[in-house]
Chains A and B, each alone.
Chain A
Amino acid sequence: GPKVLQIPSHQIIDMGQMVTLNCDPVSNHLYFYWYKQILGQQMEFLVNFYNGKVMEKSKLFKDQFSVERPDGSYFTLKIQPTALEDSAVYFCASSPGGGNTQYFGPGTRLLVL
């Protein structure tokens, strides 16, 4: 099926540093999402993005978070500065339309020390 790629697969950083998580969505998809999953729990919605804009974001999407997709390249999630509670697996997803199936990438495991 359609594949979403995420880079890197793992990232370890010190608290207070900046981190950028990269997502390569399915090529003809128009809607992009970030979800956060803490070990053993469910995925929680962070943000969705369409036509160059954030359409919805949750309370988890703190002021330190930002997303962009410059010129059709990677869809990125930047956290600056990072905090200990940001340690989690971050999943990117994409879908062809707003009401369509979301395909999830393999996740980036972020550990903030």
Chain B
Amino acid sequence: GEQVEQLPSILRVQEGSSASINCTYENSASNYFPWYKQEPGENPKLIIDIRSNMERKQTQGLIVLLDKKAKRFSLHITDTQPGDSAMYFCAASNSGYNKLTFGKGTVLLVSP
């Protein structure tokens, strides 16, 4: 199986600062690591993902880092805006059929 730990559970930042969320996984065979943003009452939406053949990926103010040795991956949101306030979930997959195991989520609150 797979377990994914996600920290912190709540993150408060000021608008314009950066926010970082960290996840660790157990299964060294995990090879796909997506990040989802979920707003209240909405479905989770993929914001960025990284595969095990990469160490870093960046898109539109988001950076993900993957350290396979430490079995750790992280999301960094640069220049946060109030619209970034939401629940963020990391996930890991090691199955060919892509069963996702999610972390418990981080509530990000960006204050103006």
Contacts and interface: CB of A to CB of B under 8 A. Distances in A.
Interface of A: 4, 31, 33, 35, 41-45, 48, 50, 55-56, 58, 91, 95, 98-107
Interface size class of B (residues with CB under 8 A): 20 to 34
Contacts of A104: 36, 43-45
B46 A98 contact: no
B107 to A, nearest CB: 9
B48 to A, nearest CB: 11
B14 to A, nearest CB: 25
A7 B99 CA distance: 23
A42 B102 contact: yes
Interface of B: 32, 34, 36, 42-46, 49, 89, 95-105
Q: Which 10 A-B pairs have the closest CB atoms?
A: A42-B102, A104-B43, A55-B97, A106-B43, A48-B97, A104-B44, A98-B97, A98-B96, A43-B102, A45-B99
Given A33-B98, A101-B34, 7 more contacts: A31-B98, A35-B100, A48-B99, A56-B95, A58-B99, A102-B46, A107-B43
Nearest to A43: B102
A44 B98 contact: no
